[in-house]
Structure 1
Amino acid sequence: MRSSTSKIILLFMAVFAFVNAGAQSVVCNGSLGDPVLKYTFGAGSNTYGPALGTAFTDFGYVQDCPEDGQYTILNHTNVRNGSNNCHPEGWQEVDHDHTGDPNGYMMLVNASDLPSKFFTYNIPDGVLCPDTKYEFSAYILNLIFQAHAGPGISRPDIVFSITQADGTTFTYDTGDIPESVNADDWRRYSMPFRTPSGNTAITLVMTNKSPGGIGNDLLLDDIEFRACGPLILSGFSNINSNAPQSACAGTLNSYNLIAQVGPDYINPKYQWQKSTDNGVSWVDIAGETQLTYNLVLPANAPAGNYQYRIAAAAGNNISSANCRTYSSPLTVVVNDNPVNPVIQPVSACEGEPFTINASGGATYEWTGPGVTGDNKNQQNLTIQHASAQDAGAYQVKITSVAGCSSLSNTVNISVNQKPVFSITGTRAICAGSSTVLSVAGPPNLKTYSWVPADGLSDAAVANPTVSPAQTTTYKVTVTDDHGCSSFNEVTVTVKATPMVTVTPVKKIFEGKSTVLDATATDADTYLWTPADGLDDPTRLNPVASPTNDITYTLHASSALGCGTAMADVFVKVFKKIIIPTVFTPNGDGTNDTWNIEALETYPQCVVKVFNRNGQEVFSSIGYSKAWNGGYHGYVLPSGTYYYTIDLKDGNPIRSGWVFIAR
């Protein structure tokens, strides 16, 4: 908490027995006491805090951006029109004090042209304990941000001077305080010292050795003064065992607290303390003045944090809070037991998953007939496939993060069988017809749900009339009075008027066979007419071996009487051609032409004959007139000639030779 005091109630006070001119702080290397005096310049929602007064500083107070030799008390540096930084080209924009409090005040100092003191405070006799070591500290932020650093930029260099009542002066020099990286780059400077045995009054003076001009502007905040003593260690039964201990409400807990104090105090005295508000306030524990303390937390101790520390001081100084130093707190956390969970009974269906819900714990441990090593520590116990063996009593123990446990009530889980049923009704109909489907099952069936709804008279009854437009699989889900469901399916086949598709023309060579390509839908029986040349006229795709051109007709019928479809296939039978290799065109009336048997049955065929030089000597489309061995009225000489015959039936071109003998 920041002090709201508007005037300084402290500043550095001490008799300091050495001079330090380095930039590093000298810190207390032992244990510290609570702040004897702490000054934070107060806090408030207004931008500016009150002036310090001439007793504290010779600098001029302004409620604006201070110029050289001026200061102000404020809670943020954006003071121009409430939004602009005083010197945005070089200053950090600071919107909170050292602790992060946006309302916390701090002192902004703009150095004067020449090195000068900017803060003075007199600490009267009696505030500090005599012949006691202390540490005072302060936080300082160089307002110049690092990116603006460079030649000609002056850095603050603060000297803390402590003057005793007899006029003896001791100093500590911070050295150059570097430019800040960001608005949180506060630096803590500290100094331990020991007060004299007599008058403890001191005067603290803060002097800035650097001149003003460009740079050398700073923020001052959070000045503290604490007793500094030997290192004090403490633990639970062991100095090195100081982690927080966890306990559960309703349980008696005891701990052996021990402490170890370094060799610094003459005639050291001790006092154990207790805090129940997280260290905000501490009270002495009566009679506990040894290095050990047997702590007993009763079973009725309320839940909360219990902190313990040991104070140490020299002799009778132990009676003054201003003289004591303390160990770090030891913490015992008493945790509430989790509220006893209430779990609800479940009626499960065989084969289906079921879950028993629990809450309120960090970990869970279930017991019951369906609990296994895999699911016993689930928060919500889930059994994926319920069976009769899973029925019975269940209970869960929940444990909090702190390890405190409670036990739930016991509930009985029942597992019911799924309903078993069948579906009756005609499974095949002609298009435009209907049938009734009926559920046949136990008497405790309560609800029915048929899908899809298309073609159904009512999707929520046990025996709907169905009139599907096409073959449809209907699924019905039934639920019994235990809430258990199961389903079954039935396919209603819709037979439309049969339809057939055939390859209308087939071509074969005489003596060959072909399969009559046909597909049919919604047909059950087939008949081809005539049966000539067919291996089986009742097959959808019989093998045909006709000797002459023929047309076959397919008759496809439905067994349900849904109609008959017909289609024709024409089979073209090509005769086998016989090509002679010699003929004698000598006019004797025998073998005078190149007579190619059956070639006339290929009216689109192309015949060509060439001599040995590749010259075409005969050609014709069709072969209605056989070649007589002539060429444009001339008689060709005896010899071998070469031919090509393209039947134009999709087969490869035939080629070979023929000999003319005269």
Structure 2
Amino acid sequence: MIVLQGVIYSRFNSFLCIGVSKKIYFWWLDVFLFSKPLMRFTPVKLFLLILLAFAFTHAQVNAQAVVCNGSLGDPVFKLDFGSGQGYGAPLGNDVTDFTYIQGCPEDGQYTIVNTTNINVNNGYGNCHPEGWQVVTHDHTGNTNGYMMLVNASQDPKKFFTYKISAGTLCQNTKYEFSAWVFNLIFQAHAGPGVHEPDITFVITNANGEKTTYDTGEIPASSDPEDWRRYSMLFSTGSGNNEITIEMINNEPGLNGNDLMLDDIQFRPCGPTMPVGFSDIATNMPQDVCVGETKNFTLVSSVGNDYTDTRLQWQKLNPNGNWDDLPGATGAQLPVSVTNSTPIGAYEYRLAAADGNNINSPTCRTYSQSLTIRVNAYPDKPSIIAPPVCEGDALTLTATPGAIRYEWTGPGVTEANKAQNPLVIDNASAVDIGDYQVTVFSVGDCSRTSDKLHAVVNLKPVITVNAPPPICKGSATIISADAADAKSYSWLPVTGLSDPAAKSPAAKPAETTTYTVTVTTNEGCTATKQVTVTVMPVPEASISPQKKIFEGQSVVLDAQTQYADTYLWSPAEGLDDPTKKNPIASPTDDITYTLKASSGIGCGSVSVSVFVRVYKKIVIPTTFSPNGDGLNDYWDIEALSTYPESTMNVFSRSGQKVYTSTGYDKPWNGAYKGYVLPSGTYYYVIDLKNGAPLLSGWVFIVH
């Protein structure tokens, strides 16, 4: 029972194409067929359900939403509501029984306009701004294109009817019907309680046979360009081919269900008709240069949709109309372009129809067009290439312009051969030579320029002298030389006798790098640098004191400038007294003095450093304070030489048992006048000279 209920609901939903709400019918089904009070199964009810399911399943003809998958003909009927300013003319009463209004339509009203910004209260503004989008043009983008603006009636009903008289459509022909629809409701306002447009298209032929298509709910959008195209296929039979198209709004008004309608049209739908040049895969435009002769064969592959398929090739005339080519009724069409064919584009297409319908333009369907273009040759190009200097960009420009360029010459590479202008960066002598360019118009029609010799002038090669260092206050000569030199220019000018001279005298106050720019007679320049090193009086520094333990070494790390000879005194304990930073290993305190001198006679300077040599500390690990006169004291060798040192001794339990500053009198192993018992004790010694703490243990033996 539940499955049968679902079948009936599904078929009923697609079958309802009259102006009664689907919700009313579903209520009727629920109450009289599926409500709990009547759910008791009976043979009569089963028979009624099967009858309903069968009827709904077979009542709809070709209800699927389809588009023509083959070829289409030119529109044989098109209703786009016209175009203009202000309001369009009302539709006839035979088209709609909605009320026409020149203003913002309310429920059950419509208007013909090119925008929703229409006259509201003697002014202009958007219709129903609380819920409608602003639409400023028809679906083609035409701001003057009229559209039918429909404000749905409170109850679902038919809102559009149009009869197409006999003779407009052909007999025994399949057509594609289509219409453009726009949901006026803001997407933000869509949701529960808001009705989206849901339209059923019904096409009825002269025999009363119907073909229907339900769009389903047309979704709301935030995009005012979101026009949607809905289409369906139907076929005419033999005899009277008069048809009527009806549009039924399946949803109620009041809250939503408002729409725009545009471009209703019928086009013949026929078989697939791929066409091409020699084979159907080659369908891009073919090019011929004017004056050439070339032959083409236009081929086709037509599907088997028709009982009696007939063909007709056409050619587009200069007025934009398609002319039948006499006798061109086969699957192939030979086309010749001769040397006398004028420049222009020549388009061809194939028409197909069933039997004698081929004689009626409204019955035909058409392939895509094939184009043969006869193209003019470009003007002969010329090349402009001013001389440049080595290292600069060599630029060759071809005139007039063209679609494509192909250069030849010494500096042409795969990367730049199609450029215009042709730019050769960092040009050199290898780029000097003859260049030509071939230019191409549409269809690769080409012409080649005369040769042009490109010139790259070489930069000057400069040699400079490198003067030796000078003492501050002295002068030296700097000089530069280059072949074909026209001028010299030195920078900075500070300390120079003549910045424009080839060899000026230089007397800078400090070390200075001079840059000379040499210009040749062709205007090419190059630069080179020369440095004048000024040696001031030597400078030296060193920390005034070093500390080491007896037996250790230290580096005398003097810092110097402008000195190149060194002598330390005294030489005692030094590994090399002539080094800038010798290693010192003295056995006693000593003062070393460095004399740093300039090797070119710019003076000398002296600095001194005191090296403090701490005596080595020897710490015994045991003593016996038993009064026998032997080893009665903890005698730490050389500790007395550290008068600021501190020492602390601790028992195993961490109790401090001895402390001292300096060590003029060795420890006798007593604590508060009592001799400590035998055992291990721990010490920490701080020499107070920056050295690490000394720690360890000592054993008292009795």
Query: Measured at CA, do residues 656 and 54 of structure 1 come closer, stay the same or move farther in structure 2, by a change above 3 Å?
Result: closer
- Mapped to 2, the partners of 1:321 and 1:61 lie a distance apart of 36
**What amino acid maps onto 1:159 in structure 2?**
V
Rounded to whole Å, the distance in 2 between the matches of 1:362 and 1:612 is 100
Unmatched tracts of structure 1, length 5 or more:
1-17, 164-168
Supply the distance in 2 between the matched residues of 1:578 and 1:560 (Cα, whole angstroms): 52
Which residue among 421, 426, 451 is the counterpart of 1:410? 451
SS of 2:208 mapped into structure 1: strand
1:100 alignment partner in structure 2:
141
CA RMSD of aligned residues (A): 5.6
Listed one character per residue, the Cα deviations across residues 96-123 of structure 1 (whole Å, up to 9, x for unaligned) are: 3243323211223456668567545574
Superposed counterparts of 1:368-407, under 5 Å: 368-371=409-412, 388-398=429-439, 403-407=444-448
Once the two structures are overlaid, the 10-residue window that deviates more, 393-402 or 247-256, is: 393-402
Q: Matched residues in 1 for 2:551 and 2:498: separation?
A: 62
Aligned to 2:335: 295
Q: Which residue of 2 aligns with 1:270?
A: 312
Alpha-carbon distance change, 24 to 64 in structure 1, aligned in 2, over 3 angstroms: farther
Given the alignment of the two structures, is residue 306 of structure 1 paired with residue 346 of structure 2, yes or no?
yes
Match of 1:42 in 2: 82
Work out the CA distance in 2 between the residues paired with 1:616 and 1:43. Answer: 116
1:501 is displaced (CA, Å) by 0.8
2:609 to 569, 578, 589: 569
Equivalence for 2:323: 283
CA deviation vs aligned residue, 1:118-139 (integer Å, no higher than 9, x gap): 545574x7x6487574737341
Residues 158-192 of structure 1: per-residue CA shift (max 9 Å, x gap)? 434455xxxxx435353544232244123234533
Q: Is the 8 A contact 1:142 1:155 kept in 2?
A: no
Residues 1:179 and 2:217 aligned together = yes
Query: Which moved further from structure 2: 50-59 or 326-335?
Result: 50-59
Kept after mapping to 2: 8 A contact 1:98/1:186? no
**Residues 1:655 and 1:175: Cα distance change in structure 2 (over 3 Å):** closer
Task: Tell me, in whole angstroms, the C-alpha distance in 1 between the residues paired with 2:181 and 2:515.
Answer: 78
SS at match of 1:491: strand
Give the drift of 1:342: 4.0
The structure 1 residue matched to 2:202, chosen from 139, 156, 159, is 159
**Matched ranges for 1:318-333 at <5 A:** 321-322=361-362, 324-333=364-373
Aligned counterparts of 2:682 and 2:299: Cα–Cα separation in 1: 123
Cα deviation code 1:351-391 (max 9, x no counterpart): 77756566966765443344556765666666667564443
Q: Which stretch of structure 1 is more off in the superposition, 248-257 or 76-85? A: 76-85
The residue that corresponds to 1:5 in the other structure is: none
Deviation larger for 520-529 or 641-650? 641-650
Amino acid at match of 1:556: A
Give the distance between the partners of 1:38 and 1:659, measured in 2 at CA: 124
Q: 1:652 to 1:445 in 2, by over 3 A?
A: farther
Q: Residues 300, 563 of structure 1: CA spacing in aligned structure 2 closer, same or farther, 3 A cutoff?
A: farther
Question: How many Å apart are 1:393 and its aligned residue?
Answer: 2.0
CA–CA separation in structure 2 for the residues paired with 1:608 and 1:312: 118
Per the alignment, residue 471 of structure 2 pairs with 430
Shift of 1:75: 1.7
CA distance in 2, matches of 1:53, 1:557: 117
Matches within 5 A, 1:628-647: none
Return the letter of the residue paired with 1:494: V
Distance apart, 1:62 and its partner CA: 1.1
1:474 maps to what in 2?
514
The offset of 1:495, in angstroms, is 1.8
**What residue identity is the alignment partner of 1:103?**
N
The 2-side partners of 1:556 and 1:323 are apart by 112
Show the counterpart of 2:115: 76
Q: What is the CA–CA distance in structure 2 between the aligned matches of 1:612 and 1:91, rounded to whole Å?
A: 95
Instruction: For 2:523 and 2:310, locate their aligned partners in 1 and report how far apart those are by CA, in whole Å.
Output: 78
Per-residue CA deviations over 1:312-356 (Å, capped at 9, x if unaligned) read: 567887665445543332223445556655443365666777565
Does residue 64 of structure 1 match 2:107? no
**Aligned partners of 2:652 and 2:97: how far apart in 1?**
133
Q: Is the 8 A contact 1:106 1:221 kept in 2?
A: yes
Q: Distance in 2 between matches of 1:567 and 1:171?
A: 121
Q: Which one is further off, 96-105 or 230-239? A: 230-239
AA partner of residue 61 (structure 1): Y
1:63 maps to a residue whose letter is Q
Distance 2:261 2:247 in 1: 13
Is residue 442 of structure 1 aligned with residue 513 of structure 2?
A: no
Q: Cα 1:193–1:465, aligned 2, differ >3 Å: closer, same or farther?
A: farther
CA 1:527–1:368: 2 relative to 1, 3 Å: same
Q: 1:195 to 1:561 in 2, by over 3 A?
A: same
Determine the structure 1 residue equivalent to 2:542: 502
Provide the rounded CA distance (Å) in 1 between the counterparts of 2:348 and 2:330.
14
- Quickly say closer, same or farther: Cα 1:421–1:90, change in 2 above 3 A: closer
How far apart are residue 439 of structure 1 and its match? Answer: 1.6
Contact 2:486–2:518 (CA under 8 A) maintained in structure 1: yes
- The answer on whether the counterparts of 1:91 and 1:144 sit within 8 Å (CA) in structure 2 is yes
Measure the CA separation in 1 of the matches of 2:619 and 2:109: 129
CA contact (8 A) 1:160 1:172 kept: yes
State the Cα deviation string for residues 383-417 of structure 1 (Å, max 9, x = none).
66756444322334455685454434423234554
- Name the SS of the counterpart of 2:118 in structure 1: coil
The answer to whether the 8 A contact 2:636-2:666 is kept is no
In 1, Cα distance between the equivalents of 2:366 and 2:253?
45
Structure 2 Cα separation of the partners of residues 618 and 542 of structure 1: 41
Q: Which moved more, 1:213-222 or 1:351-360?
A: 351-360
Residue in structure 2 matching 1:488, options 517, 528, 533: 528
Q: Distance in 1 between matches of 2:301 and 2:413?
A: 51
Contact 1:172 1:191 in 2 (8 A): no
What SS does the corresponding residue of 2:142 show, helix, strand or coil? Answer: coil
In structure 2, the CA distance between the partners of 1:464 and 1:80, relative to structure 1 (3 Å rule), is: farther
Three-state SS of the structure 2 residue aligned to 1:34 is coil
Query: Counterpart of 2:10?
Result: none
Q: In the TM superposition, what is the alpha-carbon distance from 1:41 to its structure 2 partner? A: 1.2
Listed as ranges, the matches of 1:547-626 within 5 Å are: 550-572=590-612, 621=662, 623=664
Q: 1:63: how far off? A: 0.8
Write the distance in 2 (CA, Å) between the matches of 1:271 and 1:217: 45
Equivalent position amino acid for 1:272 in 2? Q
SS of structure 1 residue aligned to 2:236: strand
Q: State the shift of 1:556 in Å.
A: 2.7
Q: 1:287 to 1:462 in 2, by over 3 A?
A: farther
Q: Offset of 1:565 from its aligned partner?
A: 2.1
Match of 1:257 among 277, 285, 298: 298
For 1:38 and 1:627, the matched residues in 2 are separated by 125
Partner of 2:49: none
CA contact (8 A) 2:309 2:352 kept: no
Distance in structure 2 (CA, Å) of the matches to 1:148 and 1:558: 94
Residue of structure 2 in register with 1:139 after alignment: 179
1:540 aligned partner? 580
Task: Pick closer, same or farther for the CA change 1:179–1:469 going to 2, 3 Å.
Answer: farther
Structure 2 residue runs of 5 or longer lacking an equivalent are: 1-57
- Rounded Cα–Cα distance in structure 2 between residues aligned with 1:372 and 1:43: 57
Change in Cα spacing, 1:52 to 1:456, as seen in structure 2 (3 Å) is farther
Taking structure 1 as reference, are residues 346 and 582 closer, same or farther at Cα in structure 2, changes over 3 Å only? same
Does the Cα contact within 8 Å between 1:42 and 1:104 map onto a contact in 2? yes
Q: CA deviation at 1:260?
A: 5.7
Distance in 2, Cα, partners of 1:620 & 1:658: 22
For residues 371 and 592 of structure 1, do their structure 2 counterparts lie closer, same or farther at Cα, with a shift above 3 Å needed? closer
